Amino acid sequence: MRAAFRANSPDAPDPAELIEFAPADYFARAKMGDIFEREAPLEVDLGCGEGAFLVAMAAKHPDRNFLGIERLLGRVRKVCRMVVHHRLTNARLLRIETAYALRYVLPPECVTTAHVLFPDPWPKRHHQSRRLIQDGFMEALHGILVPGGELLIKTDDQPYFLWMEKVIERAKGYERIDWPEDPEYPPTNFERRFLAQGLPIYRARLRKV
């Protein structure tokens, strides 16, 4: 069964709601044609937040498709409105937990680049199991990346980054590669705030092998 785009009413749908992709079956992997009508390289913004990065990338690279994954309804609706405002036809939103999307919703080997930008660090020890970057995350992501696909990570939280380094070292099927400064890579709203405060940004770039 083909997935549908949400709308309040079939008679008068809100254009912003048409941007949100709602799988017809949350227990079966979607087909790329269900998410985007055209074929193009797919990039995913895992935990897209307020959407500044997603919208900037979609505007800058009209030859690619961009899927933002975010669990909070308010954020999803806000980003959908931004996509409509900027008249972008290559961006969609999926409201769901990131780990679930990787493991159960996205098709195998469909993603060229996955962006994880300033994820919640969950600093308290008893909350660390909620962190996104875990062994299971790396395994599930490997399954949806195309051969040679990449994972790009940024964070301002050094303890979390040290955690990430250990997870990355254990992960199988990846190689660590350089990530030189790229002025064309849009900053998130969080990154702008951290840079304005003079805080360091930690980052990692990996390739599926």
Domain hosting 24: range is: 4-208
pLDDT score recorded for residue 1: 29
Q: How many folded domains does the chain comprise?
A: 1
pTM of this prediction exceeds 0.85: yes
pLDDT score recorded for residue 5: 44
pLDDT score recorded for residue 14: 73
pLDDT score recorded for residue 10: 55
120 has catalytic annotation: yes
Q: Helix, strand or coil for residue 65?
A: strand
pLDDT score recorded for residue 189: 87
**Of these residues, 11, 14, 45, 120, which one is catalytic?**
120
For residue 148, is it left (φ>0), alpha (ψ between -120 and 50) or beta?
left
pLDDT score recorded for residue 67: 98
As averages over each run of 10 residues, the pLDDT of the chain (209 residues) reads 44 76 93 94 96 97 98 94 96 96 96 96 88 96 98 96 96 96 88 88 96
Q: What's 156's domain CATH number?
A: 3.40.50.150
68 beta partners: 45, 93
Pair of tokens at residue 33: 């044609």
